[in-house]
Each structure stands twice: as C-alpha cells, then as structure tokens.
Amino acid sequence: MKLWSLLGNSQRLDGGAMFGNAPKAVWQKWIAADADNAIPLACRCLLADGLAGKTVLFETGIGAFFEPKLRARFGVAEDRHVLLDSLAAAGFAHADIDVVVLSHLHFDHAGGLLAAWREGHPPELLFPNATFVVGAEHWQRALNPHSRDRASFIAGLPQLLVDSGRLEIVEGAHAKVLGDAVRFTISNGHTPGLMLAEIVSPEGGVVFCADLIPGRPWVHLPITMGYDRFPEMLIDEKRAFLADKLARKVRLFFTHDSECAMASVQCDDNGRYSTLDEMPALTAWSLAG
C-alpha cells in the first residue's frame, strides 16, 4: 500500500473563527494573518492505493463547485478543481477511485465530489466508479441540518449520492467495502457523527484527523474552532483521541494545515501534546518505511 497527500482547493478564512476563544496574540505565533485577519488553510486529501485491494480517497476538499460570488465569500483561492490536478500528478484520475471516505459532509470536505462550477449547468457528481462512505449519524445531520450549520452543507448533494446507487452508510467501526483495513471512531464536538478513519497497520497506522484536529496548532488541547458545535466536548474527545494514538504510535494526517500533511504525536510531563516527525507531503509513501 502506498499513500499520497493530495492538495485540493485552498482557502483563506478568518483567523479568529478558526481559533475560537484563543486570542490573536496567541494564535498569530502559529499562523500569520493577512490585513483582513485571514489565514491560509489547505484542503488536503489522503489517497491510499492498495488498501484492502482498492484505491481509496479520504475526503475531497472544497473543490470548485461554488459560483464566483460564493467562491470569493468563502475565500477559495482557485477557480479550477485542484484535486483533479493533484490526482493526475500522482498518476490517477477520479474515475480510478474505488472508495471515497467522507468524515462529514461540510462543503470544505465534500465539495470536491462535484465538478467545477459552470454557468447554466447543474451540479455534477464526479468519481463514477466509487462507493461513497458516510457515517450514519452525520448522514442524518446532513439531511436535517440545524440552522447554525445549514450553510455548511451543499444543497442537493445527499440526493446525488443516493441517486448514484453507490452510497454506503456506516454504522459501527467498519465499512463493508473496506472491511477491517479501516477502523472508524466517532466524534461529536465539531458536528454530529464526525467519522475519523484510521488506516490500520502493524506499523502504527495513520488516522485522518478531519476537523477534530485541523492542523498542528489544534493538537494543543484547549485550542478549538469557532465552528465547533460543542468545544468542551471536543476537547475531551481530543484528549482521549491523542492519548490513544500516542500509545499505539498512530500518525496524524491533517487536512487544513497548509504546511504539514502528517506528523507523530508526543506529550510532555505537563500533559501538553505537540507534534514531531512532521512531513509536508506524502508521495507514494509506505507505512512500512
């Protein structure tokens, strides 16, 4: 099995929103903001070739489905579908993907499922040969969003997934299409039913941290996002998550960190978590080293 980190469309979002109640004097030491207080964010995906005999894509980033006005509003930098370019650079096309695993269906994680916006054309679902894997609890949230997060979902996307005939809604720790090769755990602090996918390996494995831990600064337990549903719950979930990954030597894969794709976790004598062995990108990387 080989792993690639694939960049999708990037964003610039308000730093205050991304760091919740942490003051700017603290978070600007980690990520510099521009004159509009916006910080750079990646929408990074993980490609695994040879996982359970399949080519598996973990998330799709924000993509280019927004019309120009909304693209500017949400700080999306590029107008082309960057993930498709990244797939091509790795030697793949979207039609080569057998499984797409989605931690949740917020637009910055699932928008890349759709073709780039074209005026006068309806949304078009990409990945024609893929099974789409979504957690059961979050699927219900996507169908019936709360007013607080309704704008985070893509209208019509759930129906496109259903109409594909290739949707698998997961209840429990494993998906039928991937078997024991991927283990799922659930987090509810950011959004109900956020599904954290761990590629299981004797060498320690890799876990897609999604929005539980968007990047290295958020490894620090008190740091949460303003977008999180229940910050205190998320901190408790993060504490248990990091302790488990440290004990089992599971690497963390970050979707929103603009400079780091993957790292190991460490904890000091004061119980403060941080990262080491940071990798900016993965290119045909093997868990076996």
Predicted confidence (pLDDT) per residue in 244-263, tens digit: 999 999 999 999 999 999 99
Inter-CA distances, 27 with 14, 45, 218, 223, Å? 12, 24, 10, 9
Query: Are the CB atoms for 190 and 228 separated by under 8 Å?
Result: yes
Predicted confidence (pLDDT) per residue in 93-126, tens digit: 999 999 999 999 999 999 999 999 999 999 999 9
Q: Which two tokens stand for residue 14?
A: 């308000």
Predicted confidence (pLDDT) per residue in 75-102, tens digit: 999 999 999 999 999 999 999 999 999 9
- % the chain with pLDDT above 70: 100
CA dist 115 and 168 (Å) reads 21
Inter-CA distances, 233 with 140, 144, 189, 190, 236, Å? 20, 22, 5, 9, 5
Q: For residue 86, what pLDDT is reported?
A: 98
Q: For residue 289, what pLDDT is reported?
A: 58
Query: Are the CB atoms for 44 and 107 separated by under 8 Å?
Result: no
Tally of residues, the chain: 289
288, pLDDT greater than 90: no
Predicted confidence (pLDDT) per residue in 234-244, tens digit: 999 999 999 99
Q: For residue 215, what pLDDT is reported?
A: 98
Q: Which two tokens stand for residue 157?
A: 């996307």
